[in-house]
């Protein structure tokens, strides 16, 4: 179940990072949501990150409703994949369909010290995991010990869209590979204090509806529900449902970031510039423009306002979408194309109303 670039020659690596064991430190809050920890056990538990198919032919997905963070990025042919990240392995139930690894997702799993779960990999993701000596759960090697094939689903879907996993299967894979569920943990974002009121984006602009495309193939809509303070997600023009939960995906925080996306020398796999860029932070039906910095694969994602001040991300579930600069013209907020003359006219009108 390997995919793009698997036949490409592996690049030479002149040096590898030093691996220095550290004592496991307890976290003081949920590093994926900013919430108060629900149990002492979670204080040292590593998160679990599962790669899930997002093509039209894989819908509906299952088991991702309870994910604390969902990262979505384009892979080949305009199709996206998501990485669903769970702070509690016990919340990983019937997740799938599970697909292969890509290096752009690895670069977000690394700084979280997440247990990375997938079936197969691109050569670039494999090189990155090897370079960092990062042990993963790969169905290409672990097979049925960590993944389960749905014979029922296979009557209607291609076989690559029929593999699932759950907590007990992942734990079995961890036993076979010698992985520990305990490890040092790192915050996904600069969270606001859960003991205080949420940070309101009073200096931002209204954002009741967010529309954008990852590609000509994949379009996304996020609609704000003020009563529940959530953004509900659609994909391909329909509600994005979790089959197991029978519920639509939602998020409290939305980070829509953009960067330069090209292709690796193989001409197939997408190559993301994840050093730094710009984007938007949405919360509470409003948004602000932001700058983001990541840097090296092991470095965490950092979000700043346009003045360079760290942005506090509010407590709750977060959706991180990274699109190419070539897709900026598809971004609409409340039916306004914000990267067009139309958006400039709207901004001028709003400034006139404020005078």
> Residue 349 contacts by C-beta under 8 Å, 6 or more apart in sequence?
none
For residue 21, the model assigns a pLDDT of 52
Domain extent, residue 136, equals 27-355
CA dihedral (191, 45, 98, 112) positive or negative: positive
Query: pLDDT for 35-78, tens place per residue?
Result: 999 888 889 999 999 999 999 999 999 999 999 999 999 999 99
Cβ contact 328:208 at 8 Å: no
Please name the helix (run of DSSP H) or strand (run of DSSP E) that holds residue 345, with its range, or none.
helix 341-354
Cβ contact 222:207 at 8 Å: no
Q: How many domains does the chain have?
A: 1
In a domain, 12, yes or no: no
274 phi/psi in degrees, rounded to 5: -105, 25
In a domain, 78, yes or no: yes
CA distance 280 to 257: 6
In a domain, 46, yes or no: yes
In a domain, 21, yes or no: no
Residue reference for tokens 């990983």: 92
In a domain, 19, yes or no: no
Query: pLDDT for 130-164, tens place per residue?
Result: 999 999 999 999 988 999 999 999 999 999 999 99
In a domain, 203, yes or no: yes
CA distance 168 to 227: 36
In a domain, 275, yes or no: yes
CA distance 209 to 221: 7
> Residue 282 contacts by C-beta under 8 Å, 6 or more apart in sequence?
207, 210, 222, 231, 253, 254, 255, 256
Query: pLDDT for 266-323, tens place per residue?
Result: 899 999 999 999 999 999 999 999 999 999 999 999 999 999 999 999 999 999 999 9
- Stated length of the chain: 355
Q: In this structure, what CATH number is given to the domain that contains residue 81? A: 3.50.90.10
CA distance 233 to 250: 6
For residue 36, the model assigns a pLDDT of 95
For residue 184, the model assigns a pLDDT of 87
Position 343 pLDDT exceeds 60: no
The model's confidence at residue 18, banded by pLDDT at 50, 70 and 90, is low
Nearest to 56 by CA among 93, 84, 97: 97
On the CB side of 126, CA atoms within 13 Å amount to 19
What letter would DSSP give residue 70?
E
pTM here is 0.90
Query: pLDDT for 222-234, tens place per residue?
Result: 999 999 999 999 9
Cα distances (angstroms) measured from residue 178 to each of 110, 115, 157: 18, 12, 34
CA distance 325 to 54: 21
Stretch 247-276: mean pLDDT: 96
H helical segments located in 89-215:
103-109, 123-131, 139-142, 167-177
> Residue 353 contacts by C-beta under 8 Å, 6 or more apart in sequence?
none
Position 355 pLDDT exceeds 50: no
The model's confidence at residue 12, banded by pLDDT at 50, 70 and 90, is very low
- Note the maximum CA span of the chain: 67
Burial class from Cβ neighbours inside 10 Å (0-12, 13-18, 19+) for residue 291 reads middle
Q: Which residues pair with 313 in a beta bridge?
A: 191
Q: Which residues pair with 151 in a beta bridge?
A: none
Position 14 pLDDT exceeds 60: no
Across 1-10, 166-175, 244-253, 272-281, least confident range = 1-10
Query: pLDDT for 203-213, tens place per residue?
Result: 999 999 999 99
Terminal CA-CA length for the chain = 60
Category of 72 on φ-ψ map: left (φ > 0), alpha (ψ -120 to 50) or beta:
beta
CA distance 346 to 99: 42
Query: pLDDT for 123-138, tens place per residue?
Result: 999 999 999 999 999 9
> Residue 323 contacts by C-beta under 8 Å, 6 or more apart in sequence?
74, 212, 213, 214, 256, 257, 258, 261, 331
- Residue 296 CA from chain centroid, whole number: 17
Query: pLDDT for 78-132, tens place per residue?
Result: 999 999 999 999 999 999 999 999 999 999 999 999 999 999 999 999 999 999 9
In a domain, 3, yes or no: no
Cβ contact 69:320 at 8 Å: yes
């Amino acid at each position: 179940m390997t995919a793009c670039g698997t036949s490409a020659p592996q690049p030479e690596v002149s040096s590898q990072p030093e691996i220095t064991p550290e004592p496991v430190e307890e976290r003081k809050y949920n590093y994926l949501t900013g919430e108060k920890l629900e149990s002492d056990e979670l204080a040292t538990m590593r998160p679990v990150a599962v790669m899930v198919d997002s093509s039209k032919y894989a819908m509906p997905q299952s088991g991702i409703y309870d994910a604390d963070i969902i990262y979505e990025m384009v892979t080949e042919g305009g199709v996206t994949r998501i990485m669903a990240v769970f702070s509690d392995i016990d919340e990983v139930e019937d997740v799938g369909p599970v697909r292969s690894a890509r290096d752009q997702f690895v670069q977000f799993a690394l700084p979280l010290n997440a247990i990375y779960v997938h079936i197969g990999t691109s050569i670039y993701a494999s090189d990155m995991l090897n370079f960092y000596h990062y042990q993963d759960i790969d169905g290409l090697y672990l097979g049925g010990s960590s993944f389960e094939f749905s014979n029922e689903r296979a009557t209607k879907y291609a076989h690559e869209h029929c593999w699932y996993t759950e907590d007990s299967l992942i734990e079995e894979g961890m036993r076979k590979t010698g992985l520990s569920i305990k490890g040092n943990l790192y915050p996904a974002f600069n969270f606001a204090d859960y003991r205080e009121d949420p940070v309101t984006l009073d200096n931002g602009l209204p954002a009741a509806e967010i529309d954008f495309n990852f590609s000509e193939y994949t379009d996304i809509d996020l609609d704000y529900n003020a009563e529940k303070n959530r953004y509900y997600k659609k994909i391909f023009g329909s509600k994005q449902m979790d089959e197991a939960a029978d519920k639509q995906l939602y998020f409290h925080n939305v980070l829509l970031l953009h960067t330069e996306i090209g292709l690796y020398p193989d001409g197939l796999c997408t190559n993301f510039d994840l050093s730094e860029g710009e984007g938007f932070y949405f919360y509470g039906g409003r948004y602000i423009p932001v700058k983001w910095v990541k840097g090296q694969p092991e470095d965490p994602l950092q979000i700043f306002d346009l003045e360079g001040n760290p942005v506090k991300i509010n407590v709750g579930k977060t959706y991180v979408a990274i699109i190419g600069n070539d897709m900026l013209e598809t971004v609409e907020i409340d039916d306004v194309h914000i990267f067009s003359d139309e958006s400039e006219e709207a901004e001028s009108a709003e400034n006139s109303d404020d005078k």
